């Protein structure tokens, strides 16, 4: 069993998983973290399931050498493609994905039993959210829209303003028309990049649409798993985060503040080859 002061591992294909890290840190400020952004191989969302599984295994193998006590797969595409395989290969590490929490929240929020999912191509193609929602409630109708452009907007820092909202409005035309015809009242932001666009999406769709961001729910799940396993860090000092990336640490630092609302320290970011 891992010791309570061991770090929590979090990985994503790039920078979007920092939204999950930010939420978990807010709830568990005394924990230590290792965040790995596989920036050399992003985006995962356009890759095949087998390729994403290979990437996820490489990342998890590295994090396991850092003696993590828990792993959060803070990437919807990797969760959809590889979560069962990761759990089978690393039974000694509690592993949490981001899809089940989002699906649960979507099922709880919807009053019309009509939910839309905005996600990467890989997540939509893998049917993970659709299957998770069906298990929760067979009466929920699901509309899924691949939204890879949103990843690009988030990673270049285009998150607000009229131009961004115009792009969102054009991009979401299929969803906007379905809101009326299918009575969609809940939209799951099925990519960890998308929360930084949440305000702009709300401005386009209106406040009557529930936007589900699973980051806070993931934080609660992490806390619960650590509590049950008696692995919570009992230190009262502020925890530390070490960042690893597989390409371009400078870009990671420059863009990372968009996702964390804080300036990252370049000295805490290490370039690795895995």
The catalytic residue positions are: 75, 191
Contacts of 242 (CB under 8 A, 6+ apart): 7, 33, 34, 35, 268, 270
For the chain, state the CA radius of gyration.
18
Phi, psi torsion values for 196, nearest 5 degrees: -70, -10
48 close to 111: Cβ distance less than 8 angstroms? no
- Across 100-111, b (16+ Cβ under 10 Å) vs e yields bbbbbbbbebbe
Tokens at 80, concatenated:
């959809």
CA distances from 95 to 82, 91, 119, 163 (A): 11, 9, 21, 39
13 close to 78: Cβ distance less than 8 angstroms? yes
Q: How far apart are CA 29 and CA 31, in angstroms?
A: 6
H helix or E strand, kind and range, residue 149: helix 148-155
Phi, psi torsion values for 36, nearest 5 degrees: -120, 120
20 close to 215: Cβ distance less than 8 angstroms? yes
Surface-to-core class of residue 1, CB atoms within 10 Å of its CB (0-12 exposed, 13-18 middle, 19+ buried): exposed
């Amino acid at each position: 069993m891992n010791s309570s002061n061991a770090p929590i591992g979090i990985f994503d294909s790039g920078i979007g998983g920092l939204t999950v890290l930010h939420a978990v840190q807010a709830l568990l400020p005394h924990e230590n973290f290792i965040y790995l952004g596989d920036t050399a191989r992003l985006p995962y969302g356009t890759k095949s399931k087998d390729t994403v599984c290979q990437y996820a295994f490489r990342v998890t193998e590295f994090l396991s050498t850092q003696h993590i006590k828990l792993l959060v797969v803070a990437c919807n595409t990797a969760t959809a493609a590889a979560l069962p395989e990761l759990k089978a290969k690393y039974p000694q590490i509690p592993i949490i994905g981001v899809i089940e929490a989002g699906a649960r929240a979507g099922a709880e929020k919807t009053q019309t039993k009509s939910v839309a999912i905005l996600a990467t191509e890989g997540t939509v193609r893998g049917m993970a959210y659709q299957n998770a929602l069906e298990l929760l409630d067979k009466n929920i109708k699901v509309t899924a829209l691949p939204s890879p452009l949103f990843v690009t907007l988030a990673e270049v820092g285009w998150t607000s303003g009229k131009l961004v909202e115009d792009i969102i409005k054009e991009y979401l035309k299929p969803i906007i028309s379905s809101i009326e015809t299918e009575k969609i009242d809940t939209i799951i932001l099925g990519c960890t990049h998308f929360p930084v666009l949440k305000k702009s999406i709300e401005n386009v769709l209106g406040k009557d649409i529930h936007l589900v961001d699973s980051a806070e729910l993931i934080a609660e799940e992490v806390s619960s798993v650590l509590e049950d396993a008696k692995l919570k860090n009992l230190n009262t000092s502020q925890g530390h985060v070490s960042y690893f990336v597989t390409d371009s640490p400078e870009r990671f630092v420059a863009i990372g503040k968009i996702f964390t609302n804080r300036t990252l320290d370049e000295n805490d970011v290490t370039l690795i080859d895995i």
